[in-house]
Amino acid sequence: MAACFSCDAHASEAGLLAYDIVGDAVPAALGGLLGDPERGREIVLDRRSGNCLICHALPAIDQHFQGELGPALAGVGERLSTGQIRLRLIDQSRINATTIMPPYYRVDALSHVAPEYIGQTALQAQQIEDVVAYLSTLSSSP
């Protein structure tokens, strides 16, 4: 069963692209955008924009203080489909209501948001697709 979020008032006010959730995935790229794995890698490693390493670890990356709260990202491209990765980035709480992972493409029902960021997503649609493209390349073998 697909759930469509194109009609959500907060999403349309914020200019978010519509997407359909099918099972535990968003199968189609946001807005039909193509992701770039290299840009996605930069976002994942950037401690300001993606800040993925605060909770996740990446193998063979020369970065100190990688996280252990979330699953390691090695092999994520083998464990999950691109659609599954996309939904987890958009809003993991659609799968797990008690998740600690922040939504990266949602603006409604958020708490503890600095006033200057209210109504803004953590990542733009193109950035989501770039991160999906990068994470999809990650295998468990070096």
Q: Residue 141 domain-assigned?
A: no
Report how far residue 52's alpha carbon sits from residue 56's, in angstroms, rounded to the nearest whole number: 6
Of the ranges 56-65, 111-120, 126-135, the best mean pLDDT one? 126-135
Under DSSP, the state recorded for 50 is T
Instruction: Kindly report, residue by residue over 124-138, the tens digit of the pLDDT.
Output: 999 999 999 999 999
Q: Which residues pair with residue 3 across a beta bridge? A: 21
Instruction: Kindly report, residue by residue over 26-36, the tens digit of the pLDDT.
Output: 999 999 999 99
Q: Residue 13 domain-assigned?
A: yes
Which stretches of the chain are DSSP H helices?
Answer: 9-14, 37-45, 76-79, 82-91, 125-136
Q: Residue 16 domain-assigned?
A: yes
Q: Considering its fold, how many domains does the chain have in total?
A: 1
The pTM of this model reads 0.87
User: Can you give the residue range of the structural domain that contains 39?
Assistant: 2-136
Q: What is the CATH number of the domain that holds 114?
A: 1.10.760.10
Predicted confidence band at 13 (pLDDT cuts at 50, 70, 90)? low
Q: What's the alpha-carbon Rg for the chain, to the nearest Å?
A: 15
